[in-house]
Chains A and B, each alone.
Chain A
């Protein structure tokens, strides 16, 4: 089955700087890659996703890149703010016939004011 690795496990960034979280996946059949933000005591919240027919997607301060050849994808947060502090999870899923999301191990991001 699919295996998703995520790095780093913790990341501290000065407010205003950029943060990058990286994930690799094992199954070349995966073609949907969402990113979730989990705040303390809450469920995962979808923040951005990318499908395999594109290499990059951007939404304001958040961007995701995908390299299907290397089987890795990354989350980029620019101009970080204190409210960006949370645990971020990447995930992967396959198209049709397999609906489950396989999650990475999570990255605890701390923004230092």
Chain B
């Protein structure tokens, strides 16, 4: 069964450093998303991406964040200058078409630890 994959599974970085989190969505999916989950809290929407541009972003997704689909298969989330409060689990998701017509499938996540 096709699945969303994410790398790395765990990333440790120092405050102020740039990180890139990588995702490979399900191959025929058209919509891509990033969510984050701070430990013990709810899953929060960050950004959605379609046709090589951002469809929607939350207030969390400020100028320090960017997304890119560099090569037609990968979908990346970049944090330019990490802060302690960026420590969280980051989930990538993809869907075949705009929900609610099609469901969002989540990857296993990348745990980001900022020290």
The interface of chain A, by Cβ under 8 A from chain B, is: 31-32, 34, 36, 41-46, 49, 51, 89, 91, 93, 95-96, 98-106
A101 touching B45, Cβ below 8 Å: yes
Is A43 touching B91 in the complex (CB atoms < 8 A)?
yes
Cβ contact within 8 Å between A36 and B42: no
**Interface size grouping (class) on chain B:** 20 to 34
Please list the residues of chain B having a beta carbon within 8 angstroms of any beta carbon in chain A: 4, 31, 33, 35, 41-45, 48, 55-56, 58, 91, 98-100, 103-109
Q: Can you list 30 residue pairs at the A/B interface with Cβ under 8 Å?
A: A31-B100, A32-B100, A36-B106, A41-B108, A42-B108, A43-B91, A43-B106, A43-B107, A43-B108, A44-B43, A44-B91, A46-B103, A46-B105, A51-B100, A89-B43, A91-B43, A93-B99, A99-B33, A99-B98, A99-B99, A100-B56, A100-B58, A101-B35, A101-B43, A101-B99, A101-B104, A102-B45, A103-B43, A104-B42, A105-B42
